[in-house]
Amino acid sequence: MKLLLSAIFLFITACSSTPQVKPLTIAEKIQKDYKYGFFLIQRFEAQLKLKQDIEVSIYLRTLTETLIKLTNNLKNTPFGTVIIKDTQEKWNNYALPGSRIYLSLGLLKQLNYETELASILSYEIAQLEQKLVLNQIEKQFPGTNSTTDEEAKFSALPVQEDSYEKINQLDFFSPRGIFIFSEEELVNSVETAVSILYQAGFDVRGLVSLWKIFLNNPKTSPYEQKTLNKLIEKTRQTLATYTPLLNPKVKSNKFLAFKKRIQNI
């Protein structure tokens, strides 16, 4: 009888214990971010004015996908790039997890080289790789997009149930918005951006050229001069660790066609 009671006790204990939950795989985390970003995009784009040009859109998508596939975590994610009317009279670019990068029309009209355009995209992609937006959301609403082991059982859902309401409360454009990153975060994104540009065969000096465009236009630059100086220094330091490319990409006929069309948007 004692043996029977012990067996029953062990069976009940085993059934009542918390089951082991497998942690999310990298692929599952990417898919979760993609689903979460889909809902962010819907609300974000409602506050923007998009600029449409089919040929420009095709070119930007192709260039973006060329750069995206060189990343560790985003390479299997389809991405689109959208041109937007400048927000707050600044040349702001944005990137949301999931599938979308937004480029300032005013900034695009200042570009002279394809490597500068590739630099903008690579830098936005680098911020996505570091999950800067998702981290900002997590600071505002802890637990909204956590990827703990316990959450694995919800991985099939696009967002946790209470996150739909939280998305509607997110602040995009104020000084406390989800795109306001620390200077350290901005500088730390440089290494990934340089790596992407280098692998894609672009002249990485285009990133320095991009920072100088902002320096020369302080009224429309979204970055402070002090931050830009640090970005330039970090870019040059990182570039010095790479072997110079032979015949790096600077311009292409497709870019020249893009540059001509962008002036008329």
Per-residue confidence of the chain (265 residues) as pLDDT tens digits? 544 445 444 444 445 444 454 555 555 666 666 677 778 888 899 999 999 999 999 999 999 999 999 998 888 787 889 999 998 889 999 999 878 999 999 999 999 999 999 999 999 999 999 999 988 888 877 765 554 443 433 333 344 545 556 667 788 888 888 999 999 999 999 999 999 999 999 999 999 999 999 999 999 999 999 999 999 999 999 999 999 999 999 999 999 999 999 999 9
pLDDT at 25 (0 to 100): 59
**Under 8 Å CB-to-CB from 19, ≥6 apart: which residues?**
none
Answer yes or no: is 2 within a domain.
no
Answer yes or no: is 119 within a domain.
yes
SS3 string, 44-101, reads HHCCCCEECCHHHHHHHHHHHHHHHCCCCCCCCCCCEEEEECCECCECCCEEECCCEE
Answer yes or no: is 211 within a domain.
yes
Q: Strand pairing partners for 84? A: 50, 104
Amino acid letter for position 218: P
pLDDT at 132 (0 to 100): 92
Q: Which helix (H) or strand (E) holds 194?
A: helix 183-199
Answer yes or no: is 215 within a domain.
yes
pTM of the model as a whole = 0.83
Q: Which domain holds residue 102?
A: 20-262
Answer yes or no: is 5 within a domain.
no
Lateral strand order in the sheet of 50-51: 50-51, 80-84, 100-104, 94-96
Answer yes or no: is 125 within a domain.
yes
Q: For 172-258, where are the E strands, in sequence order?
A: none
pLDDT at 5 (0 to 100): 44
Q: Residues 231, 82, 175, 29: what is their CA dihedral angle, to the nearest 10 degrees?
A: -80
pLDDT at 149 (0 to 100): 40
Domain count, the chain: 1
Answer yes or no: is 8 within a domain.
no
SS3 131: coil
Answer yes or no: is 254 within a domain.
yes
